Amino acid sequence: MTRPFNFSAGPATLPEEVLQQAASEMLDWHGSGMGVMEMSHRGKEFISIAQQAEADLRDVLAIPAHFKVLFMQGGAIAQNAILPLNLSRGGRTDYVITGSWSQKSAKEARKFCDVHVAATNEADTHTQLPAYDSWQLSDDAAYVHVCSNETIHGVEMHELPDLAALGSKAPLVIDCSSHIASRPIDWSRVAMAYAGAQKNIGPAGLTLVIIREDLLGHALPICPTIFDYKIQADNDSMYNTPPTYGIYMAGLVFQWIKQQREGALTGLAAIEARNIAKAQLFYDYVDASGFYTNKVGANCRSRMNIPFFLPGDALNEPFLSGAKEAGLLQLKGHKSVGGMRASIYNAMPLAGVQALVGYMKDFAQRHG
Amino acid sequence: MTRPFNFSAGPATLPEEVLQQAASEMLDWHGSGMGVMEMSHRGKEFISIAQQAEADLRDVLAIPAHFKVLFMQGGAIAQNAILPLNLSRGGRTDYVITGSWSQKSAKEARKFCDVHVAATNEADTHTQLPAYDSWQLSDDAAYVHVCSNETIHGVEMHELPDLAALGSKAPLVIDCSSHIASRPIDWSRVAMAYAGAQKNIGPAGLTLVIIREDLLGHALPICPTIFDYKIQADNDSMYNTPPTYGIYMAGLVFQWIKQQREGALTGLAAIEARNIAKAQLFYDYVDASGFYTNKVGANCRSRMNIPFFLPGDALNEPFLSGAKEAGLLQLKGHKSVGGMRASIYNAMPLAGVQALVGYMKDFAQRHG
């Protein structure tokens, strides 16, 4: 059976091999007599699953030893509160606005600290990255927050900011929910990365936090205990019952990433090369089509989430219903942007993008 | 294949039929071409899953229309903070201590409000329920909190307190994590119930909150937005991406409950009758054995979590290793109590308890 191609922005398509393995192990994991969902999180079986998942993530993303990996709950939106509760010390923080998600992060942080908007692309309706010479970083920010890939507006930082070069000594915190594990992370520039898992990694309900150890231990007294990064770090993310099945699924995805091959490339390098090729195929077609448009600046077009527009909104419904018939699912754009959006995460094969482009060519011919 | 019997306190055993259905739908839910984990939470497929899960839960627990059902994240330990953030208004609250979990709840609440311990069974090492005539309820408590089943100490409130009869006008909040859906809830006595799902319902990472509507809308300004009950209620628990797969699994478990039959009884009544029979079989044997002991008062012995002790700690390891060989898993007691613990949630069949008692008889004969 061929499955349709699912372009959902998240929760999103998963590798078929991963789903097959999960289905085959549902009632009995490795001869333990228990499914993963039924295991005590403190038993040796589940602890081995969690440790392997962390080890594989460290391997995939080359996470240095002085960073802790935390498996948390609540998604990136919870982190919008948990981050300032842990790192702001109630003082000044810098936020760079590049789209809906960074805007939402800044708004929530205002509950807990003094938020300074250091740069924004609102004047460009979130289609360009604010030029570095426009960034007004504070002298005393507890951290600088960016969203390195805006899922809704389709804006990606292809290079992470070098805060030291911009004159800031603050640690850089990135919300990389929608492009984590799509490319390497330069840990010399990043002090903390967080991501909801339901886009590029696995099931909704798991959040990854990767944090430099020296940032731990400064939570505000009003921080709920389970959201204190230091307490979770000291308890191997098991101060409370973690989302065990989500950790298991994420672990299967990390192993899948490690097994990927693309020519001479392996693992994350293979994934990144494939993501570049997929995005290029798509953008090249859109730009050449004379029918579809994408409004994002060429230097910051997301490889993961591509909003695009038809020549008129009246074509949206015919486009979507034809796509569904062609086995191309969940292409409707976010309501705040309109139009269409193709999310082409790691688990979307090149064949899926080729099928989408093929359908778009055909549709443009019929309606052009 | 016969699966072993898994007595884990949580995450815990699930009905085999539920796991089989989940496995069979992993790659394609109802012909949608997507697994549940891959669906947008805002798409019609997942919304139908979430609505059905809520409708079935309302049916199983006979939840009145003026209560909201919220699907949240973070487990009961997160609720220890989220509850006072939403309901305390920073003022006085009453907590009744009956074991480790209610103790933990009271401790966390102290971060956010004035916690008054209205009653405690500490003097009885958490083996008796504090008599109602010892309860010292406040005149002005924002709520009264009890843990209606203490997973670690094995103490259950077989009847929920009638606060009005005790002279309190405060709403009663129950942490029913480890016995939710094991018996009916008297909603005339309860204003809010919360439960981590990973014991009697499904996967870790999902929390159920069932709350009377008039209590919504009083969150403290420092409450993270995703944990504001009113905001989640207004957004059908989708202010952020909910733990979609957990909601799906919980929904399958609710359907399984509705399908249960025990003589002339159906659904939750059948489940309750079976739970009473399972617990009675176990306690009757322990009491008659002259070998094993359970220290909990006869009027408050949990039907779900049964701590028990062998005549000497030296027997613990032989007991556990023999049990594992006999296909009886995860019987080790909680470290704070010691000894053994059998958790016999809804999904544990009578045959599992019979097998455990059979093994215990044999072990007692060999070591008595």
pLDDT tens, B212-231?
999 999 999 999 999 999 99
Question: Does the structure show a pLDDT above 80 at B39?
Answer: yes
pLDDT tens per residue, range B322-334: 999 999 999 999 9
Query: pLDDT value at position A63?
Result: 98
| pLDDT at B368 (0 to 100) | 84
Residues B139-185 have pLDDT tens digits of 999 999 999 999 999 999 999 999 999 999 999 999 999 999 999 99
Rounded to whole angstroms, the Cα distance separating A352 from A367 reads 22
- The tens digit of pLDDT for each residue in B269-296 reads 999 999 999 999 999 999 999 999 999 9
Phi, psi angle pair for A81, to nearest 5°: -95, -40
> What pLDDT does A224 receive?
98
**Contact status, residue B260 vs residue A97, Cβ threshold 8 Å:** no
The per-residue pLDDT for A368 is 84
**Spacing of C-alpha B241 from chain mean position:** 24
As a whole number of angstroms, the distance between CA B24 and CA A226 comes to 35
Q: Are A106 and A117 in contact (CB under 8 A)?
A: yes
Q: At what angle do helices A16-24 and B16-24 cross, to 10 degrees?
A: 160
Q: Cβ distance B39 to B46 under 8 Å?
A: yes
Q: Which spans in chain B are helix H?
A: 16-24, 44-61, 75-87, 100-109, 229-234, 244-259, 267-289, 316-325, 350-367
The answer to whether A187 is a known catalytic residue is no
pLDDT higher than threshold 80 for residue B319? yes
Return the pLDDT at B14. 97
Residue B277: per-residue pLDDT: 98
Helix (H, G, I), strand (E, B) or coil at A309: strand
Over range B10-20, report the average pLDDT.
97
**Quick check: B74 and A73 CB within 8 A?**
yes
Q: Is A175 one of the catalytic residues?
A: yes
Catalytic residue among A68, A94, A135, A199: A199
- Start-to-end CA distance of chain A, whole Å, equals 33
Asked whether this complex has an ipTM greater than 0.95, the answer is yes
Contacts of B224 in chain A (CB under 8 A): 78, 80-82, 85, 108, 111
| pLDDT > 60? residue B1 | no
Please count the residues of chain B.
368
| A332 labelled catalytic | no
Could you tell me the domains of chain B? 17-257 (3.40.640.10), 261-367 (3.90.1150.10)
Q: Do B241 and A22 touch (CB under 8 A)?
A: no
Count of C-beta atoms within a 10 Å radius of residue A31: 6
Please write down the long-range contacts of B191-196, taking CB distance under 8 Å and 24 or more positions apart.
B191/B143, B191/B215, B192/B83, B192/B87, B192/B143, B194/B76, B194/B79, B194/B83, B195/B76, B196/A241, B196/B10, B196/B75, B196/B76, B196/B77
Among the listed residues B56, B68, B101, B230, the single catalytic one is B101
Q: Which pLDDT belongs to residue B2?
A: 74
* Average pLDDT of chain B, as a whole number: 97
Cα gap A40→B127, rounded to integer Å: 24
Helix axes A267-289, A350-367, angle to 10 degrees: 10
Average pLDDT over residues B303-309: 98
* pTM for the structure as a whole: 0.98
Collect all residues with Cβ–Cβ distance below 8 Å to A315 and sequence separation of at least 6. A367
Note whether A81 contacts B224, CB cutoff 8 Å.
yes
| Residue of chain A minimizing CA distance to B17 | A27
Task: Determine contact, residues B205/A245, Cβ cutoff 8 Å.
Answer: yes
Low-confidence ranges of chain A (pLDDT < 50): 1
